[in-house]
Amino acid sequence: MVSTRSKMQQASISEFFEKNKHFLGFDTLNRSIITATKESVDNSLDACEEARLLPDIHIEIRKVKGKSDELVMISQDNGPGIPPDSITKVFGSLLFGSRFHTIRQTRGQQGIGITGVVMYSQLTTGKKTRVISKVKQEATAVYVDIGLDTKKNKAISSNRKRNHWFNSDGEIIEHGVKVQAHMKAKYQRGKQSVHQYLRMTSIVNPHASLSLIVYDEDGAVIDEGDWPRVTDVLPHPVKEIRPHPHGQEIGSFQRFLRDSVERKMTSFLRHNFSGVSMRAAREILLKSEIDESRKPGSITAPEAQAMLVAF
């Protein structure tokens, strides 16, 4: 009997999503353009709010002439911009972001969304995504085309240059980001549409100004919308919080113990979890029958389980 060896290979996170793009929201042509718009708008809103800027976000969608179900989505905001060294990582690396390891209420969390748009654009049209980014501290904006190497989960950049960035009135744009992506998608009106999504987004974000314009393949406007802000008051800044003991599971709790640099268990509990005072820490350790002078790294699995019960 001839034995055959199976070819076992490890797939990268980018390769996985390339073959399972429906997990990212790109499951139908109608939904794909909504997903791409949502990811761009979410990024813009988060960036503006973190920089304490009132968001101005414009979405433009164009049908490509002579191409069936191919659209160009252009999003532009007045956010703080992305530092030049981070542009390729933000748009060309899945799971790259600043919020994954923190607990705070933001729209984007995993660092997947906008890179998914770049990947979907490349997968369905073979074209790279054009990004323009301008930060206030620099005189010129960065122009770059970004694709994705799915095997290495790294960006492929080209045509990188620096130049001034002007608006339609010929004025220099001080800061912001513009994204232009080609993709297989279909624009439709009604309840399940980009227009409806932006309208609903404007309701829950009254401090943001949103606008939309959609062109057919001949350049005629087929849909548009304008939702100006109704307040100049920004939401309160989002603060990072520590995890609460009640939300812990044994695996993540053991990792906390292993990675801790605290010298005593009382310090570990007080500095790593919310709502744990010195008195509460001592009560937890007393119920768990653990000496408070123990180092976190020395706690065994049964002792960790006893602490979870004490929580």
User: What pTM was estimated for this model as a whole?
Assistant: 0.75
**Main-chain dihedrals φ then ψ at residue 100, nearest 5 degrees:** -65, -40
Q: In this model, does residue 99 exceed pLDDT 70? A: no
Q: Which domains does the chain have, with CATH numbers?
A: 13-227 (3.30.565.10), 245-310 (1.10.8.50)
pLDDT in tens, 36-78: 999 999 989 989 999 999 999 999 999 999 888 899 999 999 9
Helix (H) or strand (E) holding 115, with range, is helix 113-125
Distance CA(235)–CA(209), nearest Å, equals: 14
pLDDT in tens, 235-262: 888 777 777 777 777 888 888 888 888 8
Output the pLDDT for position 66.
86
Distance CA(146)–CA(160), nearest Å, equals: 9
Distance CA(272)–CA(297), nearest Å, equals: 14
CA 42 to chain centre: 8
Q: Name the amino acid, one letter, at 231.
A: T
Q: Residues 194, 33: contact at Cβ < 8 Å?
A: yes
pLDDT in tens, 183-228: 999 999 888 899 999 999 999 999 999 999 999 999 999 999 999 9
% pLDDT > 90, the chain: 41
265's CB contacts (< 8 A; 6+ apart) are 281, 285, 290, 291, 292, 293, 294, 295, 296, 299
- Least-confidence region, from 12-26, 72-86, 290-304: 12-26
